[in-house]
Amino acid sequence: MTVTHRLTRIAFGLSFGLAFACAQAATTVTVASFPSFDEAVKAAIPLYKKAHPDVEIKLVSLAFGDHHNAMTTALATGTNLPDVMAVEVGFIGKFAESGGLEDLSKAPYSAMQYQNKFAKFTFPQATGGVGNVAAMPADIGPGALFYRKDLLEKAGISEGDLTKSWDSFLESGKKLKAASGTYLLSNAVDLKDIYIRTGLKDGEGIYFDSKGKVLVNSPRFAKAFELAKAARTAGLDAKIAAWSPEWSEGFKRNQVATQMMGAWLAGHFAQWLAPNTKGNWRSAQLPNGGFASWGGSFYAIPKAAANKKEAWEFIKFMTLNKDMQIEAFRKLDAFPALIEAQNDPFLDQPIEFLGGQKARQLWKVAADKIPAVAVDKFDGTAQDIVNAELDKVLEQNKDIKTALADAQTQIEKRVRRKK
């Protein structure tokens, strides 16, 4: 009896000890992300385990909208927060000003020392109102023009015709339409979207200046609306909403000749949007010598996270490690924010989908010239309002001046009362 008794006690003690040891050994770092950005984490897990056998990485991935909604509500209650939070550029302004994320510029992180290692516009994006750095940049989206070389050649248009100026861009569209009935753009809204992002100075925002003043009723927006209107009037756009089934159908059936978006679009094209058009696409800089940032993703640590130290190690691994950045570039065409990774020979490799073009070098040139645009927590609201007004201009012939004035009033109305 006593022997068994003692044995059980030893067994108990052992198992307790083991459990304790295990708990010590395996710290679990939870990473919350969204597709397809989560692929980078999936790729990193085995590599990270090799270097840090004592850390377990748990990936929680939700759909894009759901992820950011879940993070918003988690920040609201301060519970259920992951250790590492992926944030898309559209939400970084909101989250940076929330005060729910660790200020990475302070010790023990002191992230400012890494600032010069990243594309210059990324840190300002992640900086909140009180100078806090809310997140580390992982990938960026240099704006690029993608065009169908074969369709252009048929219409006798060169790349230079497309990119020389906005006028020549629209003129090429008219030639294209006349030659084969192909649309220049999927949607005139794209012209507006690119134009309002180009020609900004460092520190200036797309919709708001650094003091929160609304910038919508301005020549920049007026010109953007005029361009969109001109394209619509000339019948150059297919009136297709991006990411709709018609959108990819339009590319697959050779009905749309160009698309302006982030460089990452090449990957989407090749994988699912229009794999059958492989070899026919090329990439170029945006028309009229513009450079714009289109998308991008970050990693942040919530203030209420349980394993901040390990989380920071993991974030450094994902963002400061050149090999990991290249891996993400290779896997999901996420253009690295890390300059060291941008200088990797991988950028010299030809892209098969773009007919062997070495387009990554082109995107790097763009990335260097993109201004450090400030983001605002109300960018999403402003974008919705501007798009609604542009719809009225395009569909109901609303006067551009009135539309912009209305947009300005609407934004001020919906934003000021919340400040």
Site residues (CB under 8 A) for other proteins? 69, 72-73, 75-78, 94-95, 98-100, 239, 241, 243-246, 249-250, 255, 377-378, 380-381, 384, 387-388, 391-392, 395-396, 414, 417-418
Q: How near is the Cβ of 73 to other proteins at its closest, in Å?
A: 6
Nearer to other proteins, 69 or 110 (CB): 69
CB proximity list for 288: less than 8 A, separation 6 or greater: 163, 164, 165, 166, 169, 198
DSSP per residue over 391-407, as a string? HHHHHH---HHHHHHHH
Nearer to other proteins, 247 or 363 (CB): 247
Query: Are 182 and 257 within 8 A, CB to CB?
Result: yes
Q: How many other C-beta atoms lie within 10 A of the C-beta of residue 239?
A: 15
Nearer to other proteins, 9 or 253 (CB): 253
CB neighbour burial string for 188-213, b if at least 16 within 10 angstroms, e if fewer = bbbbbbbbbbbebeeebbbbbeeeee
Query: Rounded CA gap, 277 and 263, in Å?
Result: 17
Nearer to other proteins, 313 or 412 (CB): 412
Nearer to other proteins, 248 or 357 (CB): 248
Q: How near is the Cβ of 407 to other proteins at its closest, in Å?
A: 13
Structure tokens, 107: 């010790």
Output the CA torsion sign for 325, 326, 327, 332.
positive
Nearer to other proteins, 95 or 291 (CB): 95
Q: How near is the Cβ of 90 to other proteins at its closest, in Å?
A: 10
The one-letter amino acid code at 252 reads K
* Helix ranges, 296-358 (H): 308-320, 322-332, 339-342
Structure tokens, 275: 């794999």
